[in-house]
Structure 1
Amino acid sequence: MSPNPFVATQLRQLIYYNLDNDLVPNALFLAGRLHGQEPRNPDAAHLLALCNLRLGRLKTAYDYSKEKAWRGQHLGCVYVFAQTCLGLETYQEGIQALERARGLWAGRNYWNKHSEISRRHLPDAAAVNCLLGKLWKASGEVKKAVVCYVEALKLNPFMWDAFLDLCDTGAEVRTSNLFRLTPEMQSYMLHAAAAASHGAAESHPLRAPTVANRSVSHAATPGHDPFNPSTRNGADPGLNFGGSNLFSRLNEGVEVFNEAETPIANLGPYEDNSVGDTGGIPALAAPRAPIRKKNLQSFSADSGMRIPKMKPLPVDSRSKGGSEGPEVSELSQPIGQINHKRTVSGQVSQASGSTRQDPNATTRRSVRLQNANTASKPTRPDSKMSSSSNRDPELKEMREIRKTVRATGVRSRTGTTSTVARVVSGDRKPTEMTDTNTRDIRDSRGSRTTTSTVVNAPQSKAHPNDGAREIEALQILLDLLSKIGAGYFHLSRYQCAEALRAFETVPMQQRETPWVLVQMAKANYEGQRYSEAEEMFRRVKKMSPSRMEDMEIYSTVLWHMRKETELAYLAHELIEADRLCPEAWCSIGNSFSLQREHDSAVKCFKRATQLDPKFAYGYTLQGHEHVANEEYDKALYAYRCAISAEHRHYNGWYGLGKVYEKMGKYDIAEKHYKAAAQINPTNAVLIVRIGVVLEKMKKTQAALAQFTHACDLDPRSALSRFKKAHALMKLRRLNEALAELEVLKDLAPDEANVHFSLGKVYKMLKDKGSAIRHFTIALNLDPKAAQYIKETMETLDDDDDDDDDAYDDDHNDI
């Protein structure tokens, strides 16, 4: 017995159903049955690998998709295989598989083809380029990754993930050039709008079934694919005019009428194939087919009535195909002949039993429509025709449809009469009309103007400027992404002030969201405005109490502000929410570090890096604790792990420089500090450290240049001004040093080192009174340094200019 092919079809439908409803274990079981049913089918292998990937079983998904991916037979298998390679860190295998299958995905574009009722379970070129960029970036090929990300954004400017990764690579980006409508998008939306305005009337006389009926019929159809539907009915405006499933979804159930001069022939609810996987923008509808003359003759014979000769209809070029041919000759029907004949819809029906009629009897509506240029004559109804039509319900329904056609017909060139060609339909069942429209048409048989007005009322729903409004909506979205993207780009380059200004331009309802607030908090943190950063992080926690992302930065902000209670509370709150979250363990480690329990802090940071081996900041914090314990070898290893996890992690480069500085290797420390400053050129602390190592290498003038640059970057930085003042003192530029110290005294009035330095400057200027006064203030502020300060006071009469005093800047760790 041959296998039933519908078994595999039903299994696919069930798999898609479970995947759509996030019932992945069910989908995995059914995918196993499908793979057993069709072991050589690449689609079955793809679904089985996809289900394992959704469940996080990377190695299993890798095994099931590898064979088909290496052969390049199925794009889905290749894409799943590349995703598993990214997770398993076998980057080159994924890159090779995607490049080998380039012919399968190059040129595909599924933008605006996803909706609530339509899916595309295969990727397009933008998605593949984004994944390819991630693989190149992970393998260290940053330039190739940038090329892939840019290509993805060119195809789809809404590919936000590609933009974030592009910024993280350090590439120079102009957001205004990235987030803009592509020519394909503009063309697509204009064509869709044209389809909405010109194609609705052609689908209205024979509309598709209602949404509810379609959903029921699709559910019972074996071959229905909810991700990529293989069938869409002929009245679908998105199908008739090359639109997407989203366009169809937006327009289904809305009665729209066309203003074209000739209705489309053979327009019925027959199902047609949906837009294929070729990508690109769908083409417009094919030209209208001319009306076949034999249909006109068969309809006249079936009507059981004599049709007078008609004059040729004056039509323009757009309706020329429907008016070609000679005049219709007069037809007759034998009396009493009762035969089975086909109606216009193609159904078999009984012909009318009576054909003889009064010469003055009313002609059929279709004839009057075609004879619209002739003058209307008052007529009387024919009782025989009425009784005959009542006995034939199908003919009656067709008459109602013709009335609708007449009502929605297009004016002639003079605008006074309607010239409508006959709709020749292949529909097997006349489409039902709404009760309201039918009642209005029946009540207005005596008034041609009233009928047209009533039926055309829903036409206002299809606005002629819908295309422009769609483009305007897309432009609004792209402008929003451009503003947010500009802020993130500046933040990725540590241009904190520019980032905050960019985020301030975001609309209020979007700015007051957790993601934007977190970016603004990070910008304040990088700018060492810890109070503002804390306030924003507090608002984020109020909006999203379970948020874990970026909470390690929040804990570091609290560490800098020395808020032990708040930091401990945050750590407990995060660990209770998710014990397997690395950010939670970082918060606990910061809490121990603030209490100077460095060993416990190291354990917490190690746990964080175990949970996420790519968590660069966890390695950096671990290195800081090793430096506090003077375990420099372990600190070097931790900082190197941080740089390996993220090459642009400037904190790791700073940590390496600090370790080498403490080890006395100033030249190596300078190189690492400069590498950190190249990544983050706006951080005043990094510039100060470069100046410090230069000063220790006796390069005072170069050090002064670095200190001056640090003061320009952050005029509020007390450390920068203090180091600048000391460099000026070494260069004997005492008045400049005194001016810097006076400014520093206002910034840090309770700092003992500031007053001690002022005393030394006044000592060098031979101002003993001022020197004694500032030495005394320093002695009161720091009694622990009383012996050293007293020794300096005793040497007021000496010319000793030794200023090797230390300034405690350990709290300036990044």
Structure 2
Amino acid sequence: MSPPTAAIAQQLRQLIYYHLDNDMEENALFLAGRLHALDPRNPDGAHLLALCNLRLGRLKAAYDHSKEKGGKGAHLGCAYTFAQACLGLEKNGEGICALDRARGLWAARNHWNKHSEISRRHVPDAAACNRLLGKLYNAQGDTAKAMHHYIHALKANPFMWDAFTDLCDTGAVVRPSNVFKMSTDMISSLSDSGVLNGNDAFLSQQRFVEPKNPFISTPDIDPFNPSTRTGGDVGLNLGGSNLLSRLNGKVPVSNANGTGSHHLDVETPTSNGQIMHEDDVMIGDVGRPAVNEHEPPQAPGRKARVQAFTPSEEPPRMRSITSRSRLKTGSESTDATDIPRPVGQNGHKRTVSGHSMPPSEKVVDPTAAPPRRSVRLLNSISSQIRPSSSRLAAATSRDTETRERRELRKKATGTKGRATSTTSASTVGRVVSGNRKATVEIAEPAHKQDSRQQNGSMAAPPPRMGSVNIDNTREREALQWLLDLMLKLGTGYSHLSHFRCLQALEAFDSIPVQQRETPWVLAQIGKAYYERSMYTQAEEIFQRIQKLAPARMEDMEVYSNVLWQLKKDTELSYLAHVLVEQDRLSPQAWCAIGNAFSLQREHDQAIKCFTRATQLNPKFAYAFTLQGHEHVANEEFDKAMFSYRCAVNADHRHYNGWYGLGQVYEKLGKFDVAEQHYRAAAQINPTNALLAVKIGSVLDRMKKTQPALVQYIHAVSLDPRSNLARFRKAQSHLKLHNPTEALKELKILKDLAPDDANVHFLLGRTYKRLRDRTNAIRHFTIALNLDPKASQYIKENMESLEEDEEFSSDEDR
């Protein structure tokens, strides 16, 4: 007889997730094919088959297998996998429609604290789906909707880092302090887990851990038919061992039959029926749950209502209260009841531990009827043969008495039943006498205790209340520390995405040293130095990155451009060689090779290398920009314009592409169009002094000297170390007949660039305008020595020192 199909499918699903979790995608794909063939109409099989293909990078196969159920939004797993495949295949609209149709299956889910090394969720929650929708809308070009979904993803899960970085990259103004903070779900989860009231959580835990004595009356807790069950019935706040799971303390709850839940961190409402949590099932066609088969091996099930009794005894049975038992005396009533009644019913006092104490003297009820003769005879006999009160005698007689009592109860009638009750009373008296130590020692044989411990039925001693409080407090402090770290990293990245490099460097400097000395953080610091044109400092940072992570390829195109700016031919060639050896199919390696050829003025070879980089990654905007620069060097302006437009299409916030387009239009003499592109670049990067200088230069070409001067002044304020900005500012002052202001700028510039012939030549003209003939001849002579090629032009200015000529625009150039 073949096993049922459901059992086979369950085992296959477990095997598939086992191989996926251990990075054996090929094995998982093979087993997923068996599962899908077993029941082709089951959406779970289609989901796993598509998921395995997606993990292997086979996007078209994942798209095909998940389209039927995922495209309609009927199955959450299929819809999510289908949308991921659509993102890779650039079918963004279809992925958006699939997730929107499945919105009812994921909108109310939040799994931010449900993953650990012993539990997982294989279907996405609202944060994951919003993040994927944001990426789909961003790839489609709808920035507003992308920002909307990124914000919702971060509200649900502030640790979703790529949603934050993508939000910053869209140009949105983000306040990291409003992102990386305790969310409402976190606070409520912390409160529910007992972090805010550790003692109460421990007491509720202890109430279910400590074994119950069957002979102690507890009127508010009925061990046979409990009226309520709390979440600590099974699992005892075990949860996952990761930080967020331990903070929340969600535990599995057993079913009514005593069998443990199949899922180790399920919040299951307690009831008499079997109820599964919605997070632990696959969402099917019409929202019905299909069993989640990915789970760790089950722990041995706990036996219901056995914990409170020793293995050699069965639970005592409650006797019905008859009119005859009500008329007995107090002593007979006590002897005849297996479980003593609470205070007020049997008159017994209780010890501190809650055990009932026997009365010091017999209390006779005057209204009770005299005992029968048979009862008196049996009492006298039992008193003669009653074993001594020593612990050894009690241990010897306990099993015998229990077995006799069990047999006599089955046929207890008349005098024999009462005699049995009287005989068992001797044992009851010793149990409730307050001598708990004796009871624990002789409760069961050693071999039975060992077997119970192996089966996991005996609970471990609970931790102390103080340790629970301390652990929970530490976990909350750890979570807050993580949020603070994310806040500092996010603040630095947000500043850098808006090119506020100085603020970004300050934010990254506030990060702890062990976190700052990591490749990702150092790369951000290096890019900040690069954007500030501090190439020497940027080179040092990237050298540290190579020592920490020699195989790192990300951001190496920036390092190659730093070396190009520093004109370090040997270092750039070595970097290109190293990157090609590590990964010859990475666009960063080909960008480094292209920069090396460009520095050697082999522009055609550089263009081939940059073209190869764009073929490897069509979204690599920086390679398109470098390709355009080489076309400009070859005066191929049409090709350069095409390359720059490709860069802008790949990344609309890539300001270098806008700058390149402005440069082409400026060379073509279209100064007004060039100004528009320069301003578009400056709007993206408002802290770049070169862009302000370029705007001023095209305004100057259009005879707008005063607006040009405003741009130069702005450029100097952005970067006081910019020689070009100060030089252009001095030129504009001379054109506006302000030689004194020009002289101030030139004196500063002379100290910054003492070997620049243009600076000394402009100083000579300034002194000539101020009629300082001696200083004018001096600086003209220095300029002539520094640049002999311009000797004819310099000599013409020296010969005209005695003349009062106006400065023309040609001279200014």
Give the TM-score normalised by the residue count of structure 1.
0.76
Equivalent residue number for residue 236 of structure 1: 235
Deviation per residue, 1:127-184 (Å, 9 max, x gap)? 0000000001111100100000000000000010100000000001110011001121
User: For residues 364 and 569 of structure 1, what CA distance do their matches in structure 2 show?
Assistant: 89
Pick closer, same or farther for the CA change 1:554–1:248 going to 2, 3 Å. closer
Equivalent residue number for residue 134 of structure 1: 135
Return the offset for 1:338: 5.0
The one-letter amino acid paired with 1:131 is L
Return the offset for 1:796: 1.8
Sequence identity percentage:
54
Quick one: which of 600, 604, 607 aligns to 1:599?
A: 604
Equivalent residue number for residue 578 of structure 2: 573
Equivalent residue number for residue 701 of structure 2: 696
Pick closer, same or farther for the CA change 1:392–1:803 going to 2, 3 Å. closer
1:663 aligns with 2:664: no
Return the offset for 1:202: 3.7
What are the equivalent positions in structure 2 for 1:761-780 lying under 5 Å apart?
A: 761-780=766-785
Deviation per residue, 1:487-536 (Å, 9 max, x gap)? 00000000011111111111111111111111011011001111111111
Pick closer, same or farther for the CA change 1:381–1:517 going to 2, 3 Å. closer
Return the offset for 1:797: 2.4
Quick one: which of 759, 778, 792 aligns to 2:797?
A: 792
Equivalent residue number for residue 735 of structure 1: 740
Pick closer, same or farther for the CA change 1:732–1:476 going to 2, 3 Å. same
Indicate if the aligned counterparts of 2:777 and 2:798 stay in contact, CA closer than 8 A.
yes
Quick one: which of 516, 526, 530 aligns to 2:531?
A: 526
SS in 2 for 1:664: coil
SS in 2 for 1:113: coil
SS in 1 for 2:95: helix
The one-letter amino acid paired with 1:580 is L
Moved over 4 A (4+): 243-253, 264-269, 276-280, 303-311, 329-342, 353-362, 378-382, 389-394
The one-letter amino acid paired with 1:726 is Q
The one-letter amino acid paired with 2:457 is T
User: For residues 9 and 794 of structure 1, what CA distance do their matches in structure 2 show?
Assistant: 98
Indicate if the aligned counterparts of 2:488 and 2:511 stay in contact, CA closer than 8 A.
yes
Equivalent residue number for residue 429 of structure 2: 363
User: For residues 33 and 489 of structure 1, what CA distance do their matches in structure 2 show?
Assistant: 48
Equivalent residue number for residue 147 of structure 1: 148
User: For residues 311 and 23 of structure 1, what CA distance do their matches in structure 2 show?
Assistant: 62
> For structure 2, which runs of at least 5 residues remain unmatched after alignment?
213-230, 268-275, 281-304, 309-313, 321-333, 349-354, 357-367, 383-400, 408-416
Indicate if the aligned counterparts of 1:624 and 1:655 stay in contact, CA closer than 8 A.
yes
User: For residues 338 and 168 of structure 2, what CA distance do their matches in structure 1 show?
Assistant: 75
User: For residues 686 and 444 of structure 2, what CA distance do their matches in structure 1 show?
Assistant: 88
Return the offset for 1:397: 9.4
User: For residues 701 and 438 of structure 2, what CA distance do their matches in structure 1 show?
Assistant: 113
Quick one: which of 312, 333, 339 aligns to 2:343?
A: 312
Equivalent residue number for residue 105 of structure 2: 104
Return the offset for 1:252: 14
- Please tell me whether Structure 1 or Structure 2 has the larger radius of gyration of its CA atoms: 2
User: For residues 381 and 742 of structure 1, what CA distance do their matches in structure 2 show?
Assistant: 100
Return the offset for 1:465: 4.4
Indicate if the aligned counterparts of 1:115 and 1:245 stay in contact, CA closer than 8 A.
yes
Pick closer, same or farther for the CA change 1:497–1:339 going to 2, 3 Å. same
Equivalent residue number for residue 423 of structure 1: none
1:59 aligns with 2:60: yes
Pick closer, same or farther for the CA change 1:10–1:313 going to 2, 3 Å. farther
Return the offset for 1:6: 1.5
Equivalent residue number for residue 163 of structure 1: 164
Return the offset for 1:386: 10
The one-letter amino acid paired with 1:775 is F
Equivalent residue number for residue 537 of structure 1: 542
Return the offset for 1:197: 2.1
Pick closer, same or farther for the CA change 1:149–1:391 going to 2, 3 Å. closer
User: For residues 60 and 80 of structure 2, what CA distance do their matches in structure 1 show?
Assistant: 15
Return the offset for 1:660: 0.2
User: For residues 785 and 541 of structure 2, what CA distance do their matches in structure 1 show?
Assistant: 38
The one-letter amino acid paired with 1:363 is G
Indicate if the aligned counterparts of 2:757 and 2:784 stay in contact, CA closer than 8 A.
yes
1:492 aligns with 2:477: no
Deviation per residue, 1:13-43 (Å, 9 max, x gap)? 1100100000001101110111111100101
Quick one: which of 611, 614, 624 aligns to 1:609?
A: 614
User: For residues 568 and 512 of structure 1, what CA distance do their matches in structure 2 show?
Assistant: 26
Pick closer, same or farther for the CA change 1:397–1:786 going to 2, 3 Å. closer
Pick closer, same or farther for the CA change 1:249–1:299 going to 2, 3 Å. farther
Return the offset for 1:198: 3.3
What are the equivalent positions in structure 2 for 1:221-260 lying under 5 Å apart?
A: 235-238=234-237, 246=242
1:653 aligns with 2:654: no
Return the offset for 1:251: 10
Return the offset for 1:685: 0.1
Return the offset for 1:732: 0.5
SS in 2 for 1:596: coil
What are the equivalent positions in structure 2 for 1:287-302 lying under 5 Å apart?
A: 297-298=316-317
Pick closer, same or farther for the CA change 1:196–1:764 going to 2, 3 Å. same
Equivalent residue number for residue 751 of structure 1: 756
Pick closer, same or farther for the CA change 1:751–1:625 going to 2, 3 Å. same
Return the offset for 1:786: 1.7
Deviation per residue, 1:690-733 (Å, 9 max, x gap)? 00000000000000000000000001100000000000000001
User: For residues 105 and 424 of structure 2, what CA distance do their matches in structure 1 show?
Assistant: 69
1:181 aligns with 2:182: yes
Indicate if the aligned counterparts of 2:143 and 2:170 stay in contact, CA closer than 8 A.
yes
The one-letter amino acid paired with 1:639 is Y
User: For residues 764 and 391 of structure 1, what CA distance do their matches in structure 2 show?
Assistant: 114
User: For residues 247 and 704 of structure 2, what CA distance do their matches in structure 1 show?
Assistant: 74
User: For residues 380 and 114 of structure 1, what CA distance do their matches in structure 2 show?
Assistant: 43
User: For residues 528 and 313 of structure 1, what CA distance do their matches in structure 2 show?
Assistant: 89
Pick closer, same or farther for the CA change 1:309–1:718 going to 2, 3 Å. closer
Deviation per residue, 1:220-263 (Å, 9 max, x gap)? xxxxxxxxxxxx99531237xxx66858985999xx9xxxxxxx
Return the offset for 1:482: 0.5
Indicate if the aligned counterparts of 1:722 and 1:740 stay in contact, CA closer than 8 A.
yes
The one-letter amino acid paired with 1:200 is Q
SS in 1 for 2:579: helix
Equivalent residue number for residue 96 of structure 2: 95
SS in 2 for 1:71: coil
Indicate if the aligned counterparts of 2:73 and 2:100 stay in contact, CA closer than 8 A.
no
SS in 2 for 1:363: helix
Equivalent residue number for residue 326 of structure 1: none
1:505 aligns with 2:510: yes
Indicate if the aligned counterparts of 1:518 and 1:540 stay in contact, CA closer than 8 A.
yes
Equivalent residue number for residue 201 of structure 1: 206
1:553 aligns with 2:552: no
Indicate if the aligned counterparts of 2:209 and 2:459 stay in contact, CA closer than 8 A.
no
Return the offset for 1:800: 4.4
User: For residues 9 and 438 of structure 2, what CA distance do their matches in structure 1 show?
Assistant: 60
Pick closer, same or farther for the CA change 1:744–1:337 going to 2, 3 Å. closer
Indicate if the aligned counterparts of 1:66 and 1:77 stay in contact, CA closer than 8 A.
yes
Pick closer, same or farther for the CA change 1:621–1:548 going to 2, 3 Å. same
User: For residues 170 and 570 of structure 1, what CA distance do their matches in structure 2 show?
Assistant: 32
Number of matched residues? 682
Indicate if the aligned counterparts of 1:620 and 1:638 stay in contact, CA closer than 8 A.
yes
The one-letter amino acid paired with 2:40 is P
Return the offset for 1:186: 1.3
Pick closer, same or farther for the CA change 1:9–1:267 going to 2, 3 Å. closer
The one-letter amino acid paired with 1:802 is S
The one-letter amino acid paired with 2:429 is T
Pick closer, same or farther for the CA change 1:778–1:13 going to 2, 3 Å. same
Indicate if the aligned counterparts of 2:607 and 2:627 stay in contact, CA closer than 8 A.
yes
User: For residues 519 and 252 of structure 1, what CA distance do their matches in structure 2 show?
Assistant: 35
The one-letter amino acid paired with 1:700 is T
Return the offset for 1:631: 0.5
Equivalent residue number for residue 719 of structure 1: 724
1:431 aligns with 2:457: yes
Return the offset for 1:206: 6.5
